[in-house]
Amino acid sequence: MSIVEKFVTMDYGPAPEDPREALVWLDLHHRRFSHFINGAWHPPVENKFFDTTDPSTTEKLADIAQGSAADIDAAVKSARAALPAWQSLTPHARARYLYALARQIQKHSRRLAVLETLDNGKPIRESRDIDIPLVARHFYHHAGWAQLLAQEFPGHEACGVVGQIIPWNFPLLMLAWKIAPALATGNTVVLKPAEFTPLTALAFAEICQEIDLPPGVVNVVTGDGSTGEALVAHPDVDKIAFTGSTEVGRAIRKATASSHKKLSLELGGKSPFIIFEDADLDSAVEGLVDGIWFNQGQVCCAGSRLLMQESIADKLIAKICDRMNTLRVGPPLDKSIDIGAIIARVQLDRIQRLVDQGVAEGATCWQPSIPMPSRGLYFPPTLLSNVHPTSIVAQQEIFGPVLAAMTFRTPSEAVELANNTAYGLAACVWSESINVSLHVAAQIKAGVVWVNCTNLFDASCGFGGYRESGYGREGGREGLQEYLEPTWFKHAPPLHPRPLAIDQPPQQIPESSAGSAANPPIDRTVKLFIAGKQARPDSGYSIPVHSPDGRLLGEAPLGNRKDIRNAVEAARKATAWPKSSAHTRAQVLYYLAENLSQRREEIAQRLSEVVGKTQALNEVSLSIERIFTYAAWADKYEGAIHNPPFRNVTLAMQEPIGTIGILCPQEAPLLGFISTVMPAIAVGNTVVGVPSEIYPLITGELYSLFETSDLPAGAVNIVTGRPHELLKTLAEHDDLDALWVFADAATCSTAKALSIGNLKQTFTNEGRSFDWFHPAPSSDRFFLQHATQIKNIWVPYGE
Ligand code: NAI
């Protein structure tokens, strides 16, 4: 083609990246890789290998060791052995290792980028300009956290040995997101890369050798899902961090339920990309290209659901189609390619299947007439319009270059559509009105919201989901929490539950508790407390409550499934509480403390019947103090403004989780209820509480306090009954966003195992005994952290 012709067509010529360096590196390893355990290469115990291939050609790149349970065991042992020495290093010494990793990654950055593109099929432009620079940035940033650890996280310690399982879409970046914070906080690691993309993790292992990282601090065991399963099941792993599909996340949750492994899950998404009529449409279209066609759409936070305001839909679709006509699909090592290869045949088939299903359900499919490579695994950029919000392509993660478009009329309709998903990972909002954008951003249930921008990531900002997109954050201060535990919590002794005084069968509730000759008087019959009202239980039965010396103290209602459902419904409807200002919530809590103070003696007198006078007095006065603590926090538990290296602010907002079910501790009927329910409501959650089984009559004192303290109806609901039966309904309830359980180890495991349905967050005492009379449980924001989830809202500024 002549220069004149080139000027006319304005077309790109091929600009291939030279893969030689990366291929030489593969040859140096004889294209056969073992596991990296205890600082050295170890062949797999079962001597099995599998192929890793280049998706752009489907040619084999290397043989990769298939990890077995024995390999995982060797790696976990090596990580355990390395732990004491790694933890005894000064924070500065650990910071120097992280810094050395960052420097070495930068030094090898081009080779790593090429290797990533060869193994994954992503355009070299992306691996070179996005993935690898972010990897280095992650290690730099966390070198800083290692340095500051002791002063910024006093009273905390590392989890210990951490098992990390990562996916294939951002292989080295996901490794960095996992390994950097783990090492900075003093953990040692066993990492399992995805079977499709192990090469850069192995190159990273070699970098660990190059910088003389102490052997065993980082171990890499390659293999498929069964290797991951073995890592999850290993009894000597203290924490699992997983990124991947929601289905596997759920399986991991189940597999870890009966252990004390801390768990963070970064799962799938179906993120809305909302464009309002006043948006800068050309910018929005460029954002969309990045939002859905970046990394072939194989991105957990891909803007895969386009929500357009109806008034601009036709114009916008025309612009999107024009832009799609200019996208270049082809060999990913070509620097002028926009869309590379799909990771594997199975994924390609999955994308096609979902698109076909979407069309069968009424969507219109449009693909540009652009040249497609004749070999390799490619899928054209695809636009599905007229998509119904319930269609499979609007609900399921496609994980490919496929956009599903829908329209809305009003901002509230946009929010409703945006939240009409089980996921909650990310969202984009495009509008020139800052009021509209931030108003909508605040209402979207997602862990990341990009305003007039998309797919921005940084080591200083938390990333992670709401709802079935998982929990825990990666990046920033919030990400470090996932690898730390308060020392008091980690070392609390096991809880030995107190036997009930007398466990009697339920009785018919008398019409009146006044008594008669046939029905002798009882001290009290309390009711359930639902939607701000005292309610009789659906069962019509009650349970007698006794003092330790066997005296009948009163009757507590025997709540059942239906009562729990009513209570959850009431809690969800109590929207005034989460919407109220932090100042208002603080005032209500102070008022509650004031009322408790006024009734101190009477309440202590009743409570003393079960726990003795000293504990009763202590419980009441500490409850008053604890309510003060959380009233104080209500308007002080603030978010942060992160500092990414772009022209924008990232607002890390502390948001309530929603509706929380709480199985309150048995051992301190009043103080236990207050210590768990107050932090939850202080930050705007609503609660369904099950009070202590040894003295459920405390419900009567509690509701008379709530009724006189301006707490809106439904903000706190109380259901008494057999805790284990109520727990099952709470755990399986899909409208509950979190479940907190403070009980023996077996009950905690049951709670975790039963609540995997909607992947609700669980927070338990891990069967440990908390000293509710000690300030520790309320002194280090521990409960507040569990009561909130952080939403990072990215807002650009400048021209
Ligand atoms: P996957 O969830 O099966 O794989 C992710 C990682 O988990 C891999 O390292 C895999 O070996 C490992 N793994 C698989 N089964 C396991 C088990 N039972 N226990 C422990 N580890 C296990 O994802 P896959 O099959 O590669 O992709 C399927 C779908 O998942 C995609 O189409 C996409 O929708 C979604 N996905 C989401 C990702 C995200 O970043 N949220 C990343 C990758 C996939």
Query: Confidence class of residue 524 from pLDDT cuts 50, 70 and 90?
Result: confident
77-81: average pLDDT: 98
List the residue whose alpha carbon is closest to atom 21 of ligand 1.
228
CA of 243 to the centre of ligand 1 (A): 7
List the residue whose alpha carbon is closest to atom 16 of ligand 1.
225
For residue 356, count other CB atoms closer than 10 A to its CB.
Answer: 12
pLDDT of residue 14: 82
Please tell me the distance from the alpha carbon of residue 740 to that of residue 657, in angstroms, as a whole number: 12
Q: What is the pLDDT of residues 634-662, one digit of tens each?
A: 999 999 999 899 889 999 999 999 999 99
Query: Confidence class of residue 776 from pLDDT cuts 50, 70 and 90?
Result: confident
List the residue whose alpha carbon is closest to atom 26 of ligand 1.
167
- Which stretches does DSSP call E strand in 248-401? 262-266, 272-275, 305-309, 364-366, 382-385
- Whether 266 is catalytic: yes
Please tell me the distance from the alpha carbon of residue 565 to that of residue 561, in angstroms, as a whole number: 6
List the residue whose alpha carbon is closest to atom 30 of ligand 1.
245
Backbone angles phi, psi at 306, to 5 degrees: -85, 120
DSSP 3-state of 49: strand
CA of 223 to the centre of ligand 1 (A): 12
CA of 422 to the centre of ligand 1 (A): 18
For residue 391, pLDDT over 60 is answered with yes
For residue 379, pLDDT over 50 is answered with yes
From 300, 453, 664, 748, the catalytic residue:
300
- Residue of 200, 220, 245, 250 to mutate, ligand 1, most atoms within 8 A of C-beta: 245
Instruction: Show Cβ contacts of residue 226 under 8 Å, excluding neighbours closer than 6 positions.
Output: none
List the residue whose alpha carbon is closest to atom 14 of ligand 1.
225
Backbone angles phi, psi at 744, to 5 degrees: -70, 170
Please tell me the distance from the alpha carbon of residue 750 to that of residue 728, in angstroms, as a whole number: 8
CA of 248 to the centre of ligand 1 (A): 6
CA of 245 to the centre of ligand 1 (A): 5
- Helix 600-611 / helix 698-707 crossing angle, nearest 10 deg: 160
CA of 164 to the centre of ligand 1 (A): 12
Nearest to 439 by CA among 410, 407, 460, 461: 410
Q: Which residues line ligand 1 (CB under 6 A)?
A: 165-169, 192, 194-195, 224-225, 228-229, 232, 243-245, 248, 251-252, 267-268, 300, 347, 350, 397, 399
Please tell me the distance from the alpha carbon of residue 395 to that of residue 403, in angstroms, as a whole number: 12
Read off the tokens for 391.
């269609």
List the residue whose alpha carbon is closest to atom 22 of ligand 1.
225
List the residue whose alpha carbon is closest to atom 19 of ligand 1.
229
- Residue of 178, 227, 248 to mutate, ligand 1, most atoms within 8 A of C-beta: 248
Q: Are 564 and 729 in contact (CB under 8 A)?
A: yes
Q: What is the pLDDT of residues 536-586, one digit of tens each?
A: 999 999 999 999 988 999 999 999 999 999 999 999 999 999 999 999 999
Please tell me the distance from the alpha carbon of residue 720 to that of residue 564, in angstroms, as a whole number: 9
119-125: average pLDDT: 98
Read off the tokens for 131.
């993935």
684: left (phi over 0), alpha (psi -120 to 50) or beta: left
Q: Are 796 and 648 in contact (CB under 8 A)?
A: yes
Please tell me the distance from the alpha carbon of residue 760 to that of residue 740, in angstroms, as a whole number: 10
Q: What is the pLDDT of residues 475-493, one digit of tens each?
A: 999 999 999 999 999 999 9
Query: pTM of the full predicted structure?
Result: 0.96
DSSP 3-state of 446: coil
197-218: average pLDDT: 98
List the residue whose alpha carbon is closest to atom 8 of ligand 1.
194
- Give per-residue burial for 535-566: e unless 16+ CB within 10 Å, then b: bebbbebbbbbbbeeeebbbbbbbbbbebbbb
Provide the mean pLDDT of the chain.
95
CA of 470 to the centre of ligand 1 (A): 13
From 116, 195, 266, 655, the catalytic residue:
266
pLDDT of residue 509: 61
724: left (phi over 0), alpha (psi -120 to 50) or beta: alpha
- Whether 428 is catalytic: no
Q: Are 246 and 759 in contact (CB under 8 A)?
A: yes
pLDDT of residue 360: 98
Query: Confidence class of residue 11 from pLDDT cuts 50, 70 and 90?
Result: confident
Strands 188-192 and 218-220, how do they pair? parallel
Query: Confidence class of residue 502 from pLDDT cuts 50, 70 and 90?
Result: low
CA of 613 to the centre of ligand 1 (A): 56
User: What percentage of the chain reaches a pLDDT higher than 90?
Assistant: 92
- Give per-residue burial for 21-46: e unless 16+ CB within 10 Å, then b: ebeebbeebeeebbbbbbbebbebbe
Query: Confidence class of residue 666 from pLDDT cuts 50, 70 and 90?
Result: very high
Nearest atom in ligand 1 to the alpha carbon of residue 397 is 34
